[in-house]
Structure 1
Amino acid sequence: MKGIADVKGFLCGTGKGNIKNTLKPSNKKDILVIVSEKPATAAAVFTTNDVKAAPVKLSQKLVKAYEKVHGIVANSGNANACTGERGMKDAETMAKICQNLTGKSPFLVASTGVIGEFLPMDRMEKGIEEAVENLGKATSKEAAQAIMTTDTFPKTAFFEGKGFTIGGIAKGAGMIDPAMATMLSFIATDAEIDKKLLEKALREANEISFNAITVDGDMSTNDTVFFLANGTSGKRITEENYGEFLDGLKEVMKSLAYQIVKDGEGATKVVRIKVIGARTKEEARKVARKIALSPLVKTAVFGCDPNWGRIIAAAGSAGVKLVEEKTELKIGGYLLFKGTKTDYDETVVHKYMKKSEEIVIEVNLNLGSAFFEYLTCDFSYEYVKINAEYRT
């Protein structure tokens, strides 16, 4: 499982801080420290939620103030959100501990987990110390495991280009909805690239990856994507070779986004929603997102029920003035609706949904040439169980 630890010049270490306050004992590593051996140009995107966690507020300031950073410190089990002045001080302390232990600065900070609890800073410090001691020893898989909460598997991705590589990890399974989700993603490249171009690449790739997925329609307080470039490979990215670099970044981020949806809490199926024939890309996005958010659509998918009426109703509520008579709907390539119900075999479509781990829903508005694709997953009984027991 290649990822961020496989990018030249980046060292990962994990530690155990027992950060989550729970009655259930855990031996999980829950601290991650990533250090760039050379100062790395930094770009980031964050949650648009008005309620932002302390590490988000701190890292927003750091990315704006510094062109380059030396690393990232992150924890799982506690979001350090809605924790006021103490929360900000604790986030700053996390960064300072790393600075003191490594002699490098600044460090970006990220947290994920339960909202409203203070960080146990004594245990946090011990966990960070262990992670720093282990720098260079953690694999990409182990780095990804350290930031998992309700995830069932670690998420990594890697791209090898001409003279450079891009590697990333992510966590996320629930409270997933743009922009962005209760997700963290740390991505690194050994290419050299100016900050403005790095930010541009991250924005463009984010639009079709992390900002085009939803699990449950709930936006988090802690969403963070960091992208660091340390130039260790000697490969310089300019406008001339930007296309290959962007394609590689898109590949990494789309892979991580897909893995998040596949690991959606209680999910049994990934749903790929394709809206084509729209007047504009934005209208296609609105329709796709509306379908992706519909609990009725998601529960129908869980039941392998080709209930096209729910999908058409969701599409019609997106506010794009679709024309019912022109609209077509396919599930898995089977045409179910073309202005009205078609003469399809429901048993065949049910069998397709039953046997497929990925369900493809295509809506053709027949109003233009624009398109957009969204990823979501089904709603199962297990989703309720996981979130009912999340804090205990």
Structure 2
Amino acid sequence: MRAMVYRGPYRVRVEEKAPPRIEHPNDAIVRVTLAAICGSDLHLYHGMMPDTRVGTTFGHEFIGVVDEVGPSVQTLQPGDRVMVPFNVFCGTCWFCARGLYSNCHNVNPNATAVGAIYGYSHTTGGYDGGQAEYVRVPFADVGPTKIPDWMDSEDALMCTDALPTGYFGAQLGDITEGDVVVVFGAGPVGLYAAKSAWLMGAGRVIVVDHLDYRLDLAATFAHAETLNFGQVGDVVVELKKLTDHLGADVVIDAVGAEADGNLLQHLTSAKLKLQGGSPIALNWAIDAVRKGGTVSVMGAYGPMFSAVKFGDAFNKGLTIRANQCPVKRQWPRLFEHIRNGYLKPSEIITHRIPLDHIAEGYHIFSAKLDGCVKPVVVPPAA
């Protein structure tokens, strides 16, 4: 099959690769019809995540058609059109029983903190991802779900990570009616978080970024106020001015470990894998929220040794809530919002890139060229 293959930092290409096969009775093989490049994929692309091995196929956002199922699979059959959450999870462990699918205890032998993610290095289980023509989907009876007949394919694709993660970020903020909500980051997850904040009763939503084309989309898609931090002296001071000098009730960090990395990382990380990013956005969030407020973190962070202002968070009496999104737990609500017309996830898609041109797609997305907000990858079989 044709598949994207990692060859080192900033080096990805499409190669012929052995197609996946059934390895366990509860596996399914899915023929990918659409995939996407996620902002967190850039951490891998830039060489910032530990144990990202040469030959790995990225891609944790994908939908497709079931091609083959193992003998134990009961809920799917060949020909079913399915969406696959980015979490790999067993569905039966202590954490899965409580809906914490991103913290599954049985799917990642390399860590006790994080569960498993498709195409996201061996630190998250070493599962190949969906930027390919075919992908192996373990635990096929608990992860993938048939796409409703009424749902558009591109909307379904956005439901595999970006939309539920943004919605989860707003959910973690425990927003109450009238709250002032600040979202750091106007990428896809930040845009969805801002849109979702209104659904949860926010009175004001302010999105912070430094790229005007993304802020323009925050204004039109998410109906948010916008602030370009590159055009103000101190973004925290500016946010305090906008919030009666109290700070926001809820601040959502949708940036994470800054996929561009910092200078030290670019000089050293390819060999040392020092850390998964710097906590600038997280520290801004701690400073910009009011005393007694809530900071929600669902931007992706890897191993990180930079200083976080925990003392300030403690002294301000903040609530900090964070996790990888348990995608499938969000789907029932999101499906209703989409069906009722409150959300149209595919509106943020800006680029549709053939799989064979994925190296160019990564370059465009990474360098933020051509107004790229969300690139979708189309395999040749599609």
TM bracket (short chain)? under 0.3
Q: Normalized against structure 2, the TM-score is what?
A: 0.25
Q: Normalized against structure 1, the TM-score is what?
A: 0.25
More helix by share: 1
**Larger Rg computed on CA atoms:** 1
